[in-house]
Structure 1
Amino acid sequence: MIRKRSLVRRTAAVATAGAALFLLAACGGDGSGTAGHGGHSAASATPSASASASQGKHNPADVAFAKGMIPHHRQAVEMADLAPGRAGSAEVRKLAADIEKAQAPEIRALSGWLTSWGEEVPAAGAMDHSAHGMGGMMTDEEMSGLGDASGRAFDTAFLELMIKHHEGAVEMARTERADGSYGPATKMAGEIIASQSAEIERMRKLLGED
């Protein structure tokens, strides 16, 4: 009888130890690194944190790109807004519509990045006059002259000024591609280079330069 009781106690002790080992293995993981800090699985990381990590952190070049491109795009949209009532060519009106359709959403994206970075978004209509002539920006006189033109004169002025404007944007985008670190910003810069380079060629053909 004593021998039987001893056997039962030993069996119970073995079972208890086995259960404890099982619990330790379940809590501690297998050491493969899939458990994060505090025992949380890596899969429990928030999607926003994962997305932020994949996009990368921004740097001063990204901020400069966004702050420079917003007023630059706004001026292009302002120029394009003149075309429906002043352009003599349907092709110029179509080009202007394409420019506005592409650049208005980019302004919103650039503004959103600056806000998320805690940076000030350039105020609409608050143009730093030192920016005129930089990056292909039009002067007040050039914008006024374009606004006063119509028909064929408008078409020629619009195309010539927009080519210069696009060339400035492409140069700004190349700087961002070279120096920026924020994934979405460098991606947008690449898209600007491709789309606006193609539009430059399109405008040159309309001017009869090619």
Structure 2
Amino acid sequence: MKRFTTASATVAAAIVLAGCGSGTAPGTSGAATSAPAASARTPATSSAPAGHNSADTMFVQMMLPHHEQALEMSGIMLAKQDLDPQIKQLAEDITAAQGPEIEKMEGWLQGWGEAGTSGGHQMGGGHGMDGLVSTEDLDKLRAAQGSEAARLYLTHMTAHHEGAIKMAREEVSNGSNPEVVALAKEVVADQQAEIRKMKELLAGL
């Protein structure tokens, strides 16, 4: 009788476990189904708003064409013959600094699923990109030689940097993404130093 009771208990335990298993499986399955849904919602609800805000997006979208034009102007200068070594070094430094920054910003926009504005400088007012040089002034820079080219380059690039600094300061004040804010701070520090150098070079022309 004791043997029968033990066997019965074993069977009962197995039934209970089986019942728990069948009851848990849907629950587990449901948890497994809802977990991915929760993680899928995370990027939409926290990654986008918490990862970056509209100020971050605007800064990157505007700074991309701004940087591209700086590279364009520097490329124009580097293509000239008998370029002053100090001007050449400045143009090379700007290219070396802003080229990688363009790649970084393009990566951010892609990761955020935001549209970029690179490729066209969008001249004219209303875009908030202070310091951009007009097509006419770019043509004058291409045609100029010697000290006249240096003067145009330094004058335009100084104004260009001042516009970038203004946008960067707005990002520092209003942005939320730590990487973007850090880049904005670098822009302010680096381009302020370059402005001081360009003003010294202008004074010597």
Length-normalised TM-score, structure 2: 0.73
Gaps of 5+ in 2: 1-42
Aligned amino acid, residue 173 of structure 1? A
Q: Could you tell me how far 1:142 is from its partner in structure 2? A: 1.1
Among 128, 138, 155, the residue aligned to 2:133: 138
Task: Point out where structure 1 has 5 or more consecutive residues left out of the alignment.
Answer: 1-48
- Equivalent residue of 2:51, what SS? coil
Cα distance in 1, alignment partners of residues 188 and 81 from structure 2 = 28
CA contact (8 A) 2:66 2:129 kept: no
Choose from 107, 116, 122 the match for 1:112: 107
Residue in structure 1 matched with residue 51 of structure 2 by the alignment: 57
Residues 130-209 of structure 1 aligned to structure 2 (within 5 Å): 130=125, 134-208=129-203
Aligned to 2:24: none
Does structure 1 retain, via aligned residues, the 8 Å contact 2:60–2:109?
A: yes
Correspondent of 2:71 among 68, 77, 81: 77
Q: What CA distance in whole angstroms lies between the structure 2 residues aligned with 1:87 and 1:165?
A: 24
Is residue 159–residue 207 contact of structure 1 (8 Å, CA) maintained in 2?
yes
> Identical aligned pairs, as a percentage?
39
CA distance in 2, matches of 1:69, 1:123: 9
Q: How does 1:24-39 map to 2 (within 5 A)?
A: none
Structure with the bigger percentage of helix: 2
Q: CA RMSD in A?
A: 4.2
Give the Cα separation in 2 of the matches to 1:162 and 1:201.
12
